Amino acid sequence: MTTTANTVTSHPQKTEHRMQNLQMVDLKRQYNKIKPAVDAAIQSVIDSTAFIGGPQVGHLATEMAAYIGVEHAIPCANGTDALQIALMALGLQPGDEVITPSFTYMATVEVVALLKLTPVFVDVYPDTFTMDVESLRKAITPKTKAIIPVHLYGQCADMEPILAIAKEHNIPVIEDNAQAIGGSYTFSDGRTVKTGSMGTISCTSFFPSKNLGCYGDGGAIFTNDAALAERLKMIANHGQKVRYYHEMVGCNSRLDAIQAAVLRVKLPLLDEYCAARRTAADFYDKAFAGNPRITTPVRAANGYHVFHQYTLKLNGVNRDDVHKQLADRGIPSMIYYPVPCHKQEMLKEYNTANADLPVTNMLQDVVISLPMHTELTEEELTYITKNVIEITG
Ligand SMILES: *Cc1c(COP(=O)(O)O)cnc(C)c1O
């Protein structure tokens, strides 16, 4: 765009105050802070030429299991594979029902359909955006063979009642922890545990923009069950325990050593990264407090929210207009997710489009996520909040 003296004087504010280079997730600034350690870690893998498997992946598995507080961690190629392998390891059969919220990233549900299982959608709470427990209770049938709560936007689902219902019906729980690694949950007896440590199996993603992101694709699967861990490991490795003896149909889902090396540099910083996200969320909360058009995200009292996303609900303004106007002022925002899973073309054979999910259907039109990452400055936050307030005003 060419700027003439004229346009500068006719839009003095826009030109003077427009902030350069705001991003939803700023991975470059984060990298700059850890560059020597990351570069050395990557170089050491190249020097070793152990690109697949090897000590980096093994050490990461041990360190991840210790961090989450479970017995077994199995690194794999990405978070979607992690969910698929989890379902495969549970031995589900075509037609078995899997309960998940519709208000999630499509990957949670795609793997259900891929394995010819039947997705059964439940609603979410309008304040915390996580699985509605009453909706879950009503959705259980004799065919229910798994429940997948999603810790959406960095907030843990209300696991205590979910686990109780699952136990009552003897149904395994797979936590989708792709967005909440580093978060935690406190049970009514006071016990506080990490997200991803409560389910029969839990899954996470190391996609670069996730709270613990690598520099490519990556994921991991967690469990306390030794037999299940064995099956998960085999499935991720072509169904073999002993090389070239394939006991079951599996897939090829490996985390490469370069990604493991990057993750081993970043894992010790994860708690700090989560705290930085929460500080940015605090700033947003304060700036928007009491604004009638803006509902800030609610933090469940029994959880430690790690703000993978900072997601507002807008009231009485057109969300898509706000999104556009923010973009005009150089402020990125995202709609997670514009079409909930139950309405996706992908699932048309399941006829879920008209499912009774009033909260999900409402949220689809009002949510908007603002820039959220570990490097947001007060100056940037001030600029973003000032403009959001002006535009929604
Ligand atoms: C990112 C994500 C996944 C998938 O992870 P990938 O590593 O991208 O395959 C699954 N579920 C949720 C909720 C996610 O946000």
Does ligand 1 have an atom closer than 6 angstroms to the CB of 179?
yes
State residue 72 phi and psi, 5-degree precision: -130, 130
Does ligand 1 have an atom closer than 6 angstroms to the CB of 374?
no
Does ligand 1 have an atom closer than 6 angstroms to the CB of 70?
no
Q: What is the structure's pLDDT at 124?
A: 98
Which residue's entry shows tokens 């009638």?
292
- Ligand 1 center to residue 102 CA distance, Å? 14
Please give the CATH number for the structural domain made up of 31-268.
3.40.640.10
- Ligand 1 center to residue 38 CA distance, Å? 24
- Ligand 1 center to residue 180 CA distance, Å? 11
- Ligand 1 center to residue 134 CA distance, Å? 25
Reading the chain (393 residues) residue by residue, the pLDDT tens digits are: 333 333 333 344 444 467 778 999 999 999 999 999 999 999 999 999 999 989 999 999 999 999 999 999 999 999 999 999 999 999 999 999 999 999 999 999 999 999 999 999 999 999 999 999 999 999 999 999 999 999 999 999 999 999 999 999 999 999 999 999 999 999 999 999 999 999 999 999 999 999 999 999 999 999 999 999 999 999 999 999 999 999 999 999 999 999 999 999 999 999 999 999 999 999 999 999 999 999 999 999 999 999 999 999 999 999 999 999 999 999 999 999 999 999 999 999 999 999 999 999 999 999 999 999 999 999 999 999 999 999 999
**Which positions ≥6 away from 26 have C-beta within 8 Å?**
371, 373, 375, 376
330's tokens: 């150089």
10 Å CB burial of residue 40 (0-12, 13-18, 19+) is exposed
State residue 95 phi and psi, 5-degree precision: 95, -20
Q: What is the structure's pLDDT at 313?
A: 98
Q: What is the structure's pLDDT at 17?
A: 60
The answer to pTM > 0.75 is yes
Does ligand 1 have an atom closer than 6 angstroms to the CB of 309?
no
Q: What residue spans define the domains of the chain?
A: 31-268, 269-392
Does ligand 1 have an atom closer than 6 angstroms to the CB of 259?
no
**Which positions ≥6 away from 15 have C-beta within 8 Å?**
3, 7, 8
C-alpha to C-alpha distances, 126 to 103, 348, 388, nearest whole angstrom: 11, 26, 22
- Ligand 1 center to residue 384 CA distance, Å? 27
CATH topology of domain 269-392: Aspartate Aminotransferase, domain 1 (3.90.1150)
